[in-house]
Amino acid sequence: MFTHHAEARMQQRGISHQAVDALMAYGEYRRHRGAEVCYLTKQSRSRMLKDMGKPAFMKLEKALDTYVVVSGEGAIITAGHRYHRLKF
């Protein structure tokens, strides 16, 4: 479930629903300020490449430097691009 804010930010930042689905399926979750932040590590990227195959992975690769913030109820609050290392 996406909040209105998340839908707007995804559209503004060019992040597709498919990229968010892959991120949530293969990403690592870390608790931060009362919400869960989901992002990809090197290990999760390699696992994703192995499971999806190279052609599907290459279509999503540009959008994989992103993160999503998920509320305690499971709603996606926002999504953004990672330009720097996430600091927890």
| pLDDT, tens only, 21-30 | 999 999 999 9
In a domain, 61, yes or no: yes
Q: What is the pLDDT of residue 60?
A: 84
3-state secondary structure of 23: helix
In a domain, 22, yes or no: yes
Domain, as residue range, for 55: 4-81
Domain count, the chain: 1
In a domain, 15, yes or no: yes
DSSP conformation class of 63: G
Residue 85 has pLDDT above 80, yes or no: no
Q: What is the pLDDT of residue 88?
A: 64
Q: What is the pLDDT of residue 30?
A: 92
Q: What is the pLDDT of residue 1?
A: 87
Q: How many CB atoms within 10 Å of residue 2?
A: 17
In a domain, 44, yes or no: yes
